[in-house]
Amino acid sequence: MQTSVGKLTLALALSSALSLAAAPLTAQDIPRLANGRPDFSGIWQTLNEANYDIEPHIARHSLQMREGPINPVPAIPTLRMGAVAAVPGSMGVIVGGGGIPYTPAARALKEENMANWSERDPEVKCYLPGVPRATYMPHPFQIVQSENDFFIAYQYAGAVRDIYLDNPGPSQVDSWMGWSVGSWEGDTLVVDVTGLAEGTWFDRAGSHHSYELHVVERYTMIGPSHIEYTATIEDPQVLTEPFTIKMPIYRRIEENARLMDFRCVEFVEELIYGEARRHPLPRNID
């Protein structure tokens, strides 16, 4: 009898837990400012493989490959990095599951970029990551928000963005992080990003864009510690049609969560300027 009662108690407890887990979140479950807007303030980070390649892909030996006697093998610049430079597989983050709708010429340039990753990827030289790549770099970022302001600070390279909620007009110049103007659609923050310099990539797989890049981001809190993030990407110079990426962003909930210092410019001085030394250090891997 006691065994039956125990089993019944356990079954009821499990049923109750599952019911709570399945209960849909309501608008009251997310943090809000005094004016009723969702409060995105906090430290956030993605957990995916998008910075490797936003397209669907299988795992591969290296970020940079060359032709081998039978199959492609790691290129010399990444050969000795072994599994550290390998690429994990991913279903991709493009809505619909397809690839980037590049023109044939743009697709060829993407493949060329990938084959020369170590020399061309702006991340290697610590250039600012641009939008949307800043969101899914393997570093956290911090949102600081008030009723009238929305600011994002990224750990990687000290990048920052001021989201203008009072539209100041179009960007006057192109820049690495672009010109961001925000507006609200209900509980969703919509950010229109223009003025993006063409020197950034979408990932480590050579996915490029032109100076005509236009990104529309949507930030929607789907729980107190989760944001649904989408970015619709337009670029008539290199794309046959717009496409959208989508991913969750997670709140860092550690008690001491904070941005650390990763101003990586000094980390690449030897790479970029080392040959200018009076007595340069060796630069080959032999």
DSSP 211: T
pLDDT reported for residue 24:
57
Query: How does strand 141-145 pair with strand 160-163?
Result: unpaired
Encoding tokens for residue 121? 């990827």
What is the structure's pLDDT at 14? Answer: 54
CA distance 46 to 134: 10
Place of tokens 């100076």: 211
E strand segments, 63-140: 65-66, 73-74
Q: What whole-number distance in Å separates Cα of residue 159 and Cα of residue 145?
A: 17
H or E segment and range at residue 270: helix 269-273
Between the CA atoms of 171, 174, 176 and 178, what dihedral angle is there, to the nearest 10 degrees? 20
What is the C-alpha separation between 179 and 200, in angstroms, rounded? 15
pLDDT value for 284: 77
pTM for the whole thing? 0.88
pLDDT tens over the chain, length 286 residues: 445 555 555 555 555 555 545 555 565 689 999 999 999 999 999 999 999 999 999 999 999 999 999 999 999 999 999 999 999 999 999 999 999 999 999 999 999 999 999 999 999 999 999 999 999 999 999 999 999 999 999 999 999 999 999 999 999 999 999 999 999 999 999 999 999 999 999 999 999 999 999 999 999 999 999 999 999 999 999 999 999 999 999 999 999 999 999 999 999 999 999 999 899 998 876 5
Q: What's the per-residue H, E or C state across 156-207?
A: ECCCEEEEECCCCCCCCCCECCCEEEEEEECCEEEEEEECECCCCCCCCCCC
pLDDT at residue 23 in the model? 52
> From CA 132, how far away is CA 217, in angstroms rounded?
8
Superfamily of 94-276 according to CATH: Calycin beta-barrel core domain (2.40.128.20)
Q: What is the DSSP letter of 229?
A: E
- Amino acid at position 154, single letter: Y
Q: What is the DSSP letter of 32?
A: B
Question: How far is it, in rounded angstroms, from Cα 80 to Cα 131?
Answer: 31
Q: Contact 114/201 with Cβ under 8 angstroms? A: no
Residue closest to 249 by CA, chosen among 222, 220, 229, 223: 229
Tokens 């993605």 belong to which residue?
46
